[in-house]
Chain A
Amino acid sequence: MSRFLEDQVVERGYAVLKTGPVDVPTTAVAKALGEISSLPGVTDVQVLQPREKADAPPNIYSGAFGTGEFPLHTDLAHWFLPPRYLLLRCVVGAVNVATRLVDGQELVQALGADALFRTLLQPRRPVRGTRPILRILHRESQGRYRVRWDSLFVTPASTKSACVFADIHVWLTTAGEVRINLSDPGDGLVVDNWRMLHGRTAVPPESRDRRIDRIYLNSLNGSQ
């Protein structure tokens, strides 16, 4: 299972899996897949449920987009090093709500690695009292890249970077998108958060009870 999962994530940037009955805790599922990432001040398992804009604080996506479509993004793009992987696990399914995925490698091909590397950004708000200058693209070993993107939580850190931001916005409107439906309890999706941009389609009224558990992973079993 783990080997297959790792191969899928390396090849496509994500993997779809069945995680078993939901009475098995999501932490147990995650531990079987890899090492759980514990973030300061955040519970290991975060429950994602649709919320109206008026019912949500402005520091989360629901506070900005409500039950509308969530734009493509990297989770915690405003952190210096965002979580490596995320596991989404369906607890209450919705057939008409999908997780959107776009491959960041295609963004690199479209706009060029050099231009993206030179694009500087900052968190829109201070993180631990500072707004560090970050890059959209980091060069990893073996010619691989680490991509980050968020249209809400980060802002361009220079005039030239603002131009690339605009280009990315335009590119994303035409990017090839994969949609995954976590429609049945136990449906799971592991996403490489350093490669894939993800989002959510709008939630129609009849699907407001959708519930997804999310958990971050530092590594997948069998991977580096």
Chain B
Amino acid sequence: MTAPQQTPHEWSREALLSKAQRYAEEMLSHPRESWQFAFWSSLALELLARAALAKVSPALLADPKDWNNLYFALGNAPTAQKFSPRSIDISVVFAHLQSILPGFTPGMESFGIVHMGRRNEELHSGSTPFDSVKSSAWLPTYYQSAEVLLASLAETLESLVGPDEAEVATALIAAANDASAKAVTKTIEAHKTVWVQKTPGEQKKLQLQATLWATKQAGHRVTCPACSSDSLVVGAPVAPPTQTLDGDEITETQYFLPSRFECVACGLKIGQLSQLHAVGLADTYKSTIVYDAAEYYRTNDPYEDFEPDFNEP
């Protein structure tokens, strides 16, 4: 027997998870390094955490200071005057989840509290905490936490962020989990040692060559962690390109997740995302190409001055 129901309970797993997905879509509509991306991620995470607790029971979300909150959580309509349902603080939600969900580690709980703290600071103060955090510093833990919370809801990252972003998230999580990747710091130290043994003249010459090389080659220019020369990361696209038309020019932008690093000055090479993550070079980057509109729309037709193909008339 299943009776129709007009609306979901606002503290139900379904209502909270659907709204989390809506916020996650908003998050993904912004560039990864933007404050908006991080801000919307925090809103999505709060709802996801609350959904995970609601899956156990919406009663766990009720603020215990007033029994009417529990009564409301159980699906009833309190008759108390001026009643507005109040749920527990998000920090308490994370604490409960850490006790209830085996996969939700103390590290995830701490991350959640810090991320919510930044969100509150963003909302309630004049400071801009999300402007100063690189996505590589928080996004892997964010997705790890989201994955655990979603698993408790019998869902996957794909259901929250879609298949393309889920693939990126999985790669970021794997990179963050790869403890062996931290060994790359020894490689960097070895290159640093060799570098400092070069004469200032040699270093300057190599740095100039590296700057020239990094300008000409395709990729995203970064600073080498060993010798501070201009160097490059290259990677694979994580989203389709977007085009914007401005006058006679078309600007095409596309986001990439780094997979390789190279510095021609000191010879340092890093070939894994996990290693790049360990040294802070795993931030997604934006590639921007400006085309002349005529060039962009020019067809690749070797016979463009002729009539269309038409056998024999």
| Closest residue of B by beta carbon distance from A157 | B22
The answer on a CB contact under 8 Å between A81 and B1 is: no
Residue in A79, A114, A133, A135 whose beta carbon sits within 8 Å of that of B5 in the complex: A79
The answer on a CB contact under 8 Å between A120 and B163 is: no
Task: Say whether B63 faces chain A, with CB atoms less than 8 Å apart.
Answer: no
Number of interface residues of B (CB under 8 A): 22
| Closest residue of B by beta carbon distance from A146 | B2
Task: Say whether B252 faces chain A, with CB atoms less than 8 Å apart.
Answer: no
Q: How far is the CA of A81 from the CA of B6 in the complex (A)?
A: 6
State the Cβ distance, A155 to closest chain B Cβ, in Å: 13
Which residues of the other chain, A, contact B14 by a CB distance below 8 angstroms? 80, 135
The answer on a CB contact under 8 Å between A218 and B1 is: yes
Given A134-B18, A218-B1, A159 contacting B25 (CB threshold 8 A): yes
Q: How far is the CA of A77 from the CA of B75 in the complex (A)?
A: 22
The answer on a CB contact under 8 Å between B2 and A81 is: yes
Task: Say whether A83 faces chain B, with CB atoms less than 8 Å apart.
Answer: yes
The answer on a CB contact under 8 Å between A127 and B6 is: yes
Residue in A35, A135, A158, A159 whose beta carbon sits within 8 Å of that of B1 in the complex: A35
Which residues of the other chain, A, contact B159 by a CB distance below 8 angstroms? 114, 117-118
State the Cβ distance, B41 to closest chain A Cβ, in Å: 16
Task: Say whether A76 faces chain B, with CB atoms less than 8 Å apart.
Answer: yes
The answer on a CB contact under 8 Å between B2 and A133 is: no
Interface centre among A79, A118, A127, A216 (most CB of B within 10 A): A118
Given A35-B1, A114-B163, A133-B19, A160 contacting B25 (CB threshold 8 A): yes
Given A132-B7, A218-B2, A219-B2, A120 contacting B18 (CB threshold 8 A): yes
The answer on a CB contact under 8 Å between A82 and B18 is: no
Given A158-B25, A159-B25, A82 contacting B4 (CB threshold 8 A): yes
Task: Say whether B21 faces chain A, with CB atoms less than 8 Å apart.
Answer: yes
Q: How far is the CA of A120 from the CA of B22 in the complex (A)?
A: 8
Given A117-B159, A159-B25, A160-B25, A76 contacting B4 (CB threshold 8 A): yes
Which residues of the other chain, A, contact B2 by a CB distance below 8 angstroms? 81, 84, 218-219
Which residues of the other chain, A, contact B21 by a CB distance below 8 angstroms? 118, 120, 158
Q: Which of A45-95 contact B (CB under 8 A)?
A: 76, 79-84
Q: How far is the CA of A129 from the CA of B4 in the complex (A)?
A: 18
Residue in B4, B10, B25, B29 whose beta carbon sits within 8 Å of that of A79 in the complex: B4
What per-residue 1/0 map shows which CB atoms of B1-42 lie under 8 Å from chain A?
A: 111111110100011001101100110010000000000000
The answer on a CB contact under 8 Å between A80 and B5 is: yes
Which residues of the other chain, B, contact A79 by a CB distance below 8 angstroms? 4-7
Residue in A35, A128, A158 whose beta carbon sits within 8 Å of that of B6 in the complex: A128
Task: Say whether A173 faces chain B, with CB atoms less than 8 Å apart.
Answer: no
Residue in A40, A135, A160 whose beta carbon sits within 8 Å of that of B162 in the complex: A160
| Closest residue of A by beta carbon distance from B26 | A158
What per-residue 1/0 map shows which CB atoms of B263-302 lie under 8 Å from chain A?
A: 0000000000000000000000000000000000000000
The answer on a CB contact under 8 Å between B3 and A218 is: yes
State the Cβ distance, B20 to closest chain A Cβ, in Å: 10
Which residues of the other chain, B, contact A128 by a CB distance below 8 angstroms? 6-7
Task: Say whether B122 faces chain A, with CB atoms less than 8 Å apart.
Answer: no
Task: Say whether A37 faces chain B, with CB atoms less than 8 Å apart.
Answer: yes
Q: How far is the CA of A114 from the CA of B163 in the complex (A)?
A: 9
Task: Say whether A130 faces chain B, with CB atoms less than 8 Å apart.
Answer: yes
State the Cβ distance, B57 to closest chain A Cβ, in Å: 19
The answer on a CB contact under 8 Å between B29 and A159 is: yes
State the Cβ distance, A129 to closest chain B Cβ, in Å: 9
State the Cβ distance, B156 to closest chain A Cβ, in Å: 9
Q: How far is the CA of A159 from the CA of B29 in the complex (A)?
A: 10
The answer on a CB contact under 8 Å between B8 and A132 is: yes
Task: Say whether A39 faces chain B, with CB atoms less than 8 Å apart.
Answer: yes
Q: How far is the CA of A132 from the CA of B14 in the complex (A)?
A: 10
Which residues of the other chain, A, contact B10 by a CB distance below 8 angstroms? 130, 132
State the Cβ distance, B153 to closest chain A Cβ, in Å: 11
| Closest residue of A by beta carbon distance from B160 | A118
**5 shortest interchain CB distances as A-B pairs:** A81-B5, A133-B18, A80-B8, A83-B4, A219-B1
Given contacts A80-B7, A120-B22, A158-B26, list 7 more A-B pairs with CB under 8 A: A117-B159, A132-B7, A134-B18, A135-B18, A158-B21, A158-B25, A160-B162
A interface residues, Cβ below 8 angstroms from B: 35, 37, 39-40, 76, 79-84, 114, 117-118, 120, 127-128, 130, 132-135, 157-160, 216, 218-219
Task: Report 12 cross-chain contacts, Cβ distance below 8 Å, ordered by A residue.
Answer: A76-B4, A79-B5, A80-B6, A80-B8, A83-B4, A127-B6, A130-B7, A134-B8, A158-B26, A160-B162, A218-B4, A219-B1
